Amino acid sequence: MNYPFSDRVLALKPSAIREIFKYASDPSVISLSAGNPAPEAFPVREIAEISAKILKEHPIEALQYSVTEGYTPLRSHLTNYMKQRHGIGRSFDNILITSGAQQVMDLASKSLLNEGDTVLCESPSFIGSLNTFRSYRAHLRGVPMEPDGMSMEGLEQALKEEKRVKFIYTIPNFQNPTGITMSEAKRRRMYELAKKYGVLILEDNPYGDIRFAGKHVEAIKSLDEDGIVIYAGTFSKVISPGMRVGYAIAPQEIIQKMVVCKQGEDVHTNIWSQMVCYEFMAHCDFDTHLKHLRGIYRKKSKIATDAMDRCLMPKVTYHPIEGGLFFWCTLPSSVSMTDFCKQAVQRKVCVVPGSAFLTDENLPCSSFRINYTTPTDEKLVRGIEILGSLAADVIR
């Protein structure tokens, strides 16, 4: 049968660079291409204890259907925590527990985007979110990244030129893929511009808690007195991504629509995992846990930067990071980035070509993304050494 697919999925073309990822599952290939948090950071013992306790004391609650909005104690605890710690959430806001932060992007898109509406995003940006926006047939307009975040001149120009902007999508902390953190001044400016032009901000903050250097910058949502910011948080990087528990904090009217959409997508998020996240946050020492995580990431990122300084610099440069999971490495423009990534795979190292993160894959790009958190320390160093020897061979 010639299947009558929807226009939206027919428009989602398979990526030309996807073939590189096929090699990532080959066990002889060192994968620096994942987006996984460091497995040694998972609080395995605590999760096992909490889970056993839940299944002993509240088995029916953990296994029965639950409400779409999420587990009430988790919603209450998170609401208070985000307000007290991060100044996030006003009386007009509400919270929805989602199946990972990815679902926040989906539900926000479903609630807001008509075909042809525009989403302004950092260029480059997280491919997963861009594909979600594309699946609702949005027009993506990339705004260039600068070392302190999205270009505000570029943003205002885009806001003036684009007619049907629904929201600005940003990952302000340790952005995926660049590792860049937006300055406080730019966060204020982005908020003002959104307000001035009557558009929303979708603030995606998966990595904010993984800051191992520098000074914390408050979320854009903490400025939100006007109800124009949808904040996406997640437990994926601080407890476990396999659990798929994230959350949205947004004006009640928007949350209501997202709840209706979520009901039709998956009814509710795995309730057992919601209970584990609640118990972990409420009854383990969450601050000490975060401190422990930061120590792991600090140490591991140092191993990566030492190896890159030794093997890649100055032929291949990288953006220094203060947190998050990724390094953004840039080749001299004389070298083809795509060829470099393909040759890396032949030498058994997989990185992500930077063009994957562009609104248009065919735009020029000299960068690639390295993830330092998934491989063992030994494989991480070995992988960077191999990239270094490739750079020595192909860059003059």
Q: What part of residues 272-311 is at the interface with its own copies (CB under 8 A)?
A: 272-273
Q: How far is CA 226 from the centre of its chain?
A: 25
Question: Any contact of residue 106 with its own copies (CB under 8 A)?
Answer: yes
Cis peptide before 124 (omega within 30 of 0): yes
Tell which one of 29, 32, 78, 105 touches its own copies (CB under 8 A). Answer: 105
Among 28, 56, 163, 364, interactor with its own copies by CB under 8 A: 56
| DSSP three-state, residue 385 | helix
Say whether residue 392 binds its own copies (CB under 8 A): no
- Show contacts with its own copies in window 128-167 (CB under 8 A): 128, 131-132, 135-136, 166
DSSP 240-307: -STT--EEEEEEHHHHHHHHHHHHHHHSS--HHHHHHHHHHHHHS-HHHHHHHHHHHHHHHHHHHHHH
Residue 322 DSSP label: S
Q: Which of 143, 158, 249, 254 binds its own copies (CB under 8 A)?
A: 254
* Phi/psi-derived region of residue 70, left when phi > 0, alpha when psi is between -120 and 50, beta in every other case: left
If the CB atoms of residues 257 and 342 are measured against its own copies, the closer one turns out to be: 257
| Start-to-end C-alpha separation, the chain | 54
182 binds its own copies (CB under 8 A): no
Question: Is beta strand 93-98 parallel, antiparallel or unpaired with respect to 149-150?
Answer: unpaired
Instruction: Determine, following the binding rule CB under 8 A, whether residue 11 of this chain makes contact with its own copies.
Output: no
Min dist. Cβ of residue 36 to its own copies (A): 5
Report the amino acid identity of residue 81.
Y
* Chosen residue from 17, 21, 24, 51 binding its own copies by CB under 8 A: 51
Distance set, CA 174 to CA 10, 108, 184, 257 (Å): 33, 22, 14, 30
User: Is residue 36 close enough to count as binding its own copies by CB under 8 A?
Assistant: yes
Contact yes or no for 167/112 (Cβ under 8 A): yes
Residue 363 in the binding site for its own copies (CB under 8 A): no
Q: Whole-number minimum distance, CB 366 to its own copies, in Å? A: 27
**Does residue 91 interact with its own copies by CB under 8 A?**
no
Which residue matches tokens 């609080």? 43
Residue 16 makes contact with its own copies by CB under 8 A = no
Name the residue nearer to its own copies (CB basis): 65 or 215: 65
Task: Please tell me the count of residues contacting its own copies according to CB under 8 A.
Answer: 76
Return the residue of 192, 266, 309, 378 that touches its own copies, per CB under 8 A: 266
Q: Which residue among 16, 185, 213, 267 contacts its own copies (CB under 8 A)?
A: 267
Q: C-beta of 146: minimal distance to its own copies in Å?
A: 28
Residue type, 330: T
State yes or no: residue 65 binds its own copies (CB under 8 A): yes
